[in-house]
Amino acid sequence: MTSGKTKVVMDGNITPWEDATIHVASTGAKYGANVFEGICCYYGDRQYLFRLREHLERLHESMDLMRLPQQYSDEEFEYSIWQVLKANSIEGDAHIRLSIIVRGEGLYDVSGPLVLVCTATPRSAGPLAGGTVNIGISSWRRIDDAAMPPRIKAGANYHNGRFALMDAKRHGYDEALLLNSRGLVSESTNSCFMMVRRGALVTPPASAGILDSITRDTFLKIAGEELGLPVEVREIDRAETAIAAEAFLCNSFQEVRPIRSIDGIKLKQTAPGPITNRLWSAYEDIARGRKSKYREWLAYSRDSAQ
Ligand code: PMP
């Protein structure tokens, strides 16, 4: 999305794509000092922002941990989102990125001034839009809380994912699964890992070096409440992943990517497996406002134009 017509919202100003820039000398550009969220907008009977509250909560947490001043309110964040959708005439599904970038100059400990940037990309996601994947266990380890906390969404954390993804592709895989510093399963380069093992949905705990994922939380709730599945949040050994019945990667943007094989070992069920399909279809119903029980997860614009 680089057309001359695309608009970006920067600190509340609708800005042409070409003019949405920060200086090369900024701490954001030089050292990757930024935090962000990727949020999906789903069209049901109107546009819904899925789990906006939780995304904004995590954004504030990322800012706290990065010691950035909390100068933006939730109302400003939400307003920027509706503003960017409207400015780009997006009326259907979209992926939104809200970023806070240090545009101040200096060393890597500079914390301001900040700029709030919001972009929106239309998406035509069908079910399981991310496709199925063959993944490999990375020889790179997931960053550790003792050095660079993975549970927040800071741009610089993605250098770890960059190493692992480039290496995975070099070895012919679609994606990487990283182990943490203790040698236990952590997560993928941009997604959490979930598997079905002996009828239960299993995923590593937040302390395994993962981003505190909102999609993971959604699937854990759906599995228990909608499918009546046992849910296990526990440590996972590397070897256990390849003997799972089903497994998938999940994140807000690609939602579900069913895994076909791990380290070249085919999983028992052809991807997507039956439980993955049921989880996904409940997810989509909820995100498009078709299940009233989960309406509190959906934000919509009060503006009648939306
Ligand atoms: N782990 C990493 C490293 C990610 O980048 C993402 C995507 N934000 C996730 C997990 C999934 O997080 P969420 O479900 O909140 O999108």
Report the CATH number that the domain containing residue 164 is assigned in CATH. 3.20.10.10
- Total tally of structural domains belonging to the chain: 2
pLDDT at 113 over 90: yes
Mean pLDDT, rounded, for 264-292: 95
Could you tell me if 85 and 139 lie in one domain?
no
For the domain that residue 78 is a member of, what is the CATH number? 3.30.470.10
Q: Which domain holds residue 11?
A: 7-122
Could you tell me if 146 and 163 lie in one domain?
yes
- For residue 296, being part of any structural domain is answered with no
pLDDT at 304 over 90: no
Label residue 306 by pLDDT band (50, 70, 90). Answer: very low
pLDDT top residue among 185 and 124: 185
Could you tell me if 141 and 279 lie in one domain?
yes
Point out the ligand 1 atom lying closest to the alpha carbon of residue 252.
Answer: 16
Pocket of ligand 1, candidates 135, 165, 191: which has the most ligand atoms within 8 Å of its Cβ, to mutate?
Answer: 191
**pLDDT (tens digit per residue) in 70-93:** 999 999 999 999 999 999 999 999
Label residue 124 by pLDDT band (50, 70, 90). Answer: confident
Q: Ligand 1 center to residue 206 CA distance, Å?
A: 12
**pLDDT (tens digit per residue) in 218-235:** 999 999 999 999 999 999
Pocket of ligand 1, candidates 49, 211, 252: which has the most ligand atoms within 8 Å of its Cβ, to mutate?
Answer: 211
Q: What whole-number percentage of the chain has pLDDT above 70? A: 96
Label residue 302 by pLDDT band (50, 70, 90). Answer: confident
Q: Ligand 1 center to residue 182 CA distance, Å?
A: 21
**pLDDT (tens digit per residue) in 259-276:** 999 999 999 999 999 999
Could you tell me if 145 and 280 lie in one domain?
yes
Could you tell me if 175 and 273 lie in one domain?
yes
Of 88, 107, 122, which residue is a domain's last?
122
CA distance 49 to 41: 4
Residue 200 buriedness (CB in 10 A; 0-12 / 13-18 / 19+): middle
Mean pLDDT, rounded, for 142-150: 96
Could you tell me if 164 and 257 lie in one domain?
yes
pLDDT at 305 over 90: no
Of 99, 122, 145, which residue is a domain's last?
122
CA distance 261 to 174: 10
Of 122, 143, 164, which residue is a domain's last?
122
Cβ < 6 A, ligand 1 pocket: 38, 161, 187, 190-192, 210-211, 213-216, 251-252
CA distance 229 to 13: 47
CA distance 242 to 236: 11
Could you tell me if 110 and 135 lie in one domain?
no
- For residue 114, being part of any structural domain is answered with yes
What is the residue with the minimal CA distance to atom 9 of ligand 1?
191
Alpha helix ranges (H) inside 66-194: 74-87, 158-170
Q: Is 141 helix (H, G, I), strand (E, B) or coil?
A: strand
Nearest CA to 56 among 14, 96, 86, 22? 96
Could you tell me if 135 and 273 lie in one domain?
yes
Average pLDDT of the chain to the nearest whole number: 95
Label residue 1 by pLDDT band (50, 70, 90). Answer: low
Could you tell me if 69 and 42 lie in one domain?
yes
Please give the biggest Cα pair distance in the chain.
Answer: 54
Could you tell me if 180 and 279 lie in one domain?
yes
Could you tell me if 107 and 237 lie in one domain?
no
Give the pLDDT confidence score for residue 126 in this predicted structure.
61
Number of helices and strands (H, E) in the chain?
7, 16
- For residue 34, being part of any structural domain is answered with yes
pLDDT at 125 over 60: yes
Helices 74-87 and 52-65 pack at an angle, to 10 degrees, of 120
Mean pLDDT, rounded, for 150-157: 96
